[in-house]
Structure 1
């Protein structure tokens, strides 16, 4: 899913190493990170996702690894 490759890593990078006192602080900071994402960020996410599933379809069941 796109969230696994796009949103979660972006959140993790921004929040890593920080200490929060409350769940509300985590939610507020997470919301700020998400609010900074642009339309271009999301377009890139879905274009990369489409390339991944295109590779799966074109592999016709053959195993592959990496970006080859």
Structure 2
């Protein structure tokens, strides 16, 4: 079983991975180079494979894809407004209660009111 720390410099490694793919390196070569250069801080094999595949398919960005659980700014504005209305209607509502009523994660509700 392979054990290593959460990688620092993830974006740097993705950029380097992209460069190595453009040079025509194989997955095995890319993975070995990253392990050699970054020591215990290299990306896990699965992450290297996923990014290797993306770059082989022609993707250019090294940024993560947007995640569905991350609300857009306009959605966040709607959530703030909706939670504000609920608080005015019932001052006893908890963060958990607001999260359940609105369907927004409790961490988002907590951020709205912090």
TM-score, normalized by length of structure 2? Answer: 0.20
> Which one scores higher on RCO, CA 8 angstroms, separation ≥ 6?
1
- Higher share of residues assigned helix: 1
